[in-house]
Structure 1
């Protein structure tokens, strides 16, 4: 602590010196309490290099938001009239005066423009990534921002981050800098997954083969009885009334899956999955897009299949991520997302880096949170998938509010360009994402340690569609389906009617003080989430979680986009205004079940929208008729 005190003293002294030569004084820009479950390990190595993102204000974002509302409203004359890449960039580009002010400030500290990478104007920010040829170490950032980067360790899983709890900026930059991260961001993306277990049963024995069928009340569809034990592509197509649909716009429509934390979807696993569940897709694959240093092992197709062993040996000597390595999250997302929507082309986004730091590594690296990096990349592309699913998230409170809003704005920009974004709602009910209710803490992260329900992010962003989970046939809410109300984002207008109705149905005083009655509510929709049969590292396995729900629902959205595009219509884009205007039409209403957490039963599923399953699960044929009429 003495070292920390001395540092603060000399930092204050340096502020005084800088101030005397600067046009304005330094101003504390952000200060947070040390987050719960993080302990201070001491000062971070001064020679360590960390990339910082300096985001500039998007002064015309409200205009973009208005465009998004109009083109996403099925009753508006502009419905489906999505914006171009150039139109979006023009709306959220920073002012030139802000760019100049920040460059002048950094130049004054010896950081020249060529030392930094400026991101595309697509996200309207200035991203300061130290280039390899001109590395900027922590010691310099400590002096510039008058804080101290320190090592923080998570007491539960041992992850270590380099972060600070406060930073300052010259007061004259108040109107020119929106945020600088990663500084106070302690969140870590994690796959929304509850369980993975291998089955010793032979593959053929687990495939749907029973002659017994279940008729689903309400929808009238029939489903193979084995689907109550094992979920397959065939099960979901039967259950959600899409087993007769054949895609027609496969040259114009694409579905995307995002991957983080060195998760790779294994090509060999995918072929075994296709042979097991989607025979017509055998020997087909998907494109891989790499960003932020992401990498990917090559597929063993054609002649490469003959020399797989040699390739693995060669690749293993150069890159630890060889063909034999697979991630269960990535395998799940790709196999069901691409399997259901086949033969719609698929694209997997491999975003490099993970938000943790190992101080004893020979060449330690600390990275930004993943979503901003991915948004930098995807918004800079001319052609992007019409549907994208993400099965990663974290507790909303672990993400600084300004960063969460900034990332959310990026999702809005994607929606304006005609992309539907779907995110898993989480696997902790109303709790902290821990699938075991007994292990949930449910305390606020602001130093007050108050008991609160903990919504997840990015699911809580109003510009994405959050997907909860169901189980069994007929369906009920699964007990881990993430749901609740955002503490960062207010409830949007398109959601007000449905959510208000639900809240009025709750007994007065229910969970008083535990959630924000005025917050954006999640989830919006849901899908099956338990006992999905995948292939992982060459063997059949079962996996559960809203990680399964999101890519599955996204695949049906991709098929809806296929139907529209085949008829010469635009893609659906931002889904939520349409979903809520339908008021349940085209969905299977889930009225039974609840998702406990934080020592409570949590919210309950009920008629209409609810914060466990949203509007329910899709009835594809009904939704297809609706979207073709829009």
Structure 2
């Protein structure tokens, strides 16, 4: 690592020293401005003493170098494959230039903001809690209470903010200002199974067997109506796979919006589906005051689904559930309330400080990409890249609305742009469109098809260009489309979504002490993450490092290990969306996992 350390020092010293601190009384210039967001109306002026946690993102001096390292350590054809960076090495690469640190410090000091500054480990984020009146002065703006017409959600936001001209090179983004996302879980309907209809998972497995499509594996016929851990291990060719529980392996699940993972329900689930896991549990991590409510009546359907299947598949791999505080809607007239509705920021602040984050982490939440300002989306995505460089696999659900927006009915989705043009446009999801995460779409039935009770989110990012690792696969798909298909409705140069898929409907969970059936791509992400934990166990047994950022692997030598899904589509915006086809497609990605095949690839002596 001496060479690496010397490289970091050289980069930092060589960085331009021409950036000057802003002069006193420097004129302000607009930094970011958006059109009034669709579906939100200006309700009233924000109370002057309402508190806001302002976050300032400083330029990450050597992010492109970090990105280069990320791709090298994630590419199985590279000699550095698996040689993930340390926390300190990553931080050294994204630490802002000293001139930027000085400029921002001096500017904040001009508002008597010297104490209580919360800095990220790399000092690339500075957070300060201030009243609206001071935020308006600092940003030369006016905050209002905005109300979402359909839901009644309220946010304190502005549609434009400014910074001193000399600070524009030192601050990339300030939030909460222009972000109007309606952060939500990616799940569809839930139904409870009546006591009289209750049968055990072992009873379900005694049904007749069927063949699961091209993989040739044998699956219980009951898996066409009820998905269990047994079904998933059969479908994805991992029957009998039991990881070692080695402390060097780990898995995590994120929880938001007051979604509480109930331990009693987890024990019931284990007794029903994974008897060997009974009496085991997960480590709980509170993020910015996230609660660990264990009242059965407050058990979260999303949280229970995620932990039961992610940890049920991977048990006894050490498991962690992260509970991040904050839930919209909120009352902005309550003076002591702070609600920024930027959960990824809070979670990233927390996880990037950890010396040993879980090796694979699943998230089943997202926003319409267009509701997240691109400057902020870029910075969040850069945070995910930092984790990837450190050897963390991040899986995200691709969403349940096909190519459309949040309206559950694909025929009535508005799919209107937020850029002032009010044009019809397919609506990709964020963070699923970040090129540094693995996006997971949804399938159903045996043999598998694209899920149709809701529609697997997919398409092409308007913010992020198509990464090199998926150039061949996505270009082949686009070349197969009839000329002019959906012209102008999507970005043919964007990052393709999703990367892979997994079952996502009729999952048998325990919720509030009762058996329930639930579906959505929120089930697909923790399912896939559970199998990644099993793959990491195989890597550890072979004396190899964990997989880390998966995409360069799965789009290259790992592509042939996925079961191609060729039936279905993802309706939305009044269209049938994209069709599923041979090879990669923007509905099910590369397809679903064949565990044994991919395990053989990643444990091969030819793969580092």
Provide the TM-score with structure 1 as the length reference. 0.90
1:453 aligns with 2:452: no
C-alpha distance in structure 2 between counterparts of 1:257 and 1:597, whole Å: 29
2:509–2:517: 8 Å Cα contact kept in structure 1?
A: yes
1:36–1:447: 8 Å Cα contact kept in structure 2?
A: no
Q: CA deviation at 1:598?
A: 0.5
User: Please, which of 561, 568, 572 is the counterpart of residue 586 of structure 1?
Assistant: 561
C-alpha distance in structure 2 between counterparts of 1:352 and 1:241, whole Å: 37
Question: Any idea what SS the aligned residue of 2:213 has?
Answer: coil
C-alpha distance in structure 2 between counterparts of 1:67 and 1:74, whole Å: 13
**What residue number does 2:125 align with?**
126
Q: CA deviation at 1:454?
A: 0.4
**What residue number does 2:280 align with?**
284
The 5 Å alignment of 1:436-585 reads 436-479=409-452, 480-582=455-557, 584-585=559-560
**What residue number does 1:197 align with?**
191
1:354–1:370: 8 Å Cα contact kept in structure 2?
A: no
Deviates more, 1:357-366 or 1:137-146: 357-366
Q: CA RMSD in A?
A: 1.5
1:161 aligns with 2:155: yes
1:32 aligns with 2:34: yes
2:155–2:332: 8 Å Cα contact kept in structure 1?
A: no
C-alpha distance in structure 2 between counterparts of 1:204 and 1:362, whole Å: 51
Question: Any idea what SS the aligned residue of 1:602 has?
Answer: coil
Deviates more, 1:194-203 or 1:167-176: 194-203
Unaligned runs of 5+ in 2: 1-21
User: Please, which of 212, 215, 223 is the counterpart of residue 219 of structure 1?
Assistant: 215
Q: Runs of 4+ in structure 1 displaced over 6 angstroms?
A: none
**What residue number does 1:84 align with?**
86
1:583–1:608: 8 Å Cα contact kept in structure 2?
A: no
The 5 Å alignment of 1:152-551 reads 152-200=146-194, 201-204=196-199, 207-297=203-293, 322=295, 324-361=297-334, 363-479=336-452, 480-551=455-526
Unaligned runs of 5+ in 1: 1-19, 131-135, 299-321
Question: Any idea what SS the aligned residue of 1:595 has?
Answer: coil
1:181–1:368: 8 Å Cα contact kept in structure 2?
A: no
Q: CA deviation at 1:21?
A: 8.6
**What residue number does 2:116 align with?**
115
Question: Any idea what SS the aligned residue of 1:581 has?
Answer: coil
C-alpha distance in structure 2 between counterparts of 1:37 and 1:553, whole Å: 34
1:445-480 superposed Cα distances (whole Å, 9 cap, x missing partner): 112110000000000000000000001000001130
Question: Any idea what SS the aligned residue of 2:199 has?
Answer: helix
C-alpha distance in structure 2 between counterparts of 1:399 and 1:380, whole Å: 24
C-alpha distance in structure 1 between counterparts of 2:473 and 2:601, whole Å: 20
Q: CA deviation at 1:210?
A: 3.5
Question: Any idea what SS the aligned residue of 2:216 has?
Answer: coil
Q: CA deviation at 1:205?
A: 5.8
C-alpha distance in structure 2 between counterparts of 1:56 and 1:407, whole Å: 13
C-alpha distance in structure 2 between counterparts of 1:583 and 1:379, whole Å: 28
C-alpha distance in structure 2 between counterparts of 1:389 and 1:323, whole Å: 23
User: In structure 2, do the counterparts of structure 1 residues 147 and 536 end up closer, same or farther at CA, with 3 Å as the change threshold?
Assistant: same
Q: CA deviation at 1:215?
A: 1.2
Question: Any idea what SS the aligned residue of 1:75 has?
Answer: coil
C-alpha distance in structure 1 between counterparts of 2:25 and 2:356, whole Å: 44
Q: CA deviation at 1:292?
A: 1.5
Q: CA deviation at 1:590?
A: 0.2
Q: CA deviation at 1:528?
A: 0.4
**What residue number does 2:586 align with?**
611
User: In structure 2, do the counterparts of structure 1 residues 90 and 158 end up closer, same or farther at CA, with 3 Å as the change threshold?
Assistant: same
1:56–1:178: 8 Å Cα contact kept in structure 2?
A: yes
Question: Any idea what SS the aligned residue of 2:50 has?
Answer: coil
Q: CA deviation at 1:438?
A: 3.0
C-alpha distance in structure 1 between counterparts of 2:529 and 2:412, whole Å: 31
Provide the TM-score with structure 2 as the length reference. 0.93
User: Please, which of 27, 52, 55 is the counterpart of residue 53 of structure 1?
Assistant: 55
1:52–1:368: 8 Å Cα contact kept in structure 2?
A: no
1:247–1:562: 8 Å Cα contact kept in structure 2?
A: yes
1:118–1:128: 8 Å Cα contact kept in structure 2?
A: yes
C-alpha distance in structure 2 between counterparts of 1:161 and 1:234, whole Å: 44
Q: How many residues align?
A: 580
Q: CA deviation at 1:355?
A: 4.9
User: In structure 2, do the counterparts of structure 1 residues 406 and 356 end up closer, same or farther at CA, with 3 Å as the change threshold?
Assistant: farther
Q: CA deviation at 1:60?
A: 0.1
Q: CA deviation at 1:297?
A: 3.0
**What residue number does 2:13 align with?**
none
Q: CA deviation at 1:354?
A: 2.7
Q: CA deviation at 1:249?
A: 4.8
**What residue number does 1:314 align with?**
none
C-alpha distance in structure 2 between counterparts of 1:108 and 1:362, whole Å: 25
C-alpha distance in structure 2 between counterparts of 1:269 and 1:611, whole Å: 35
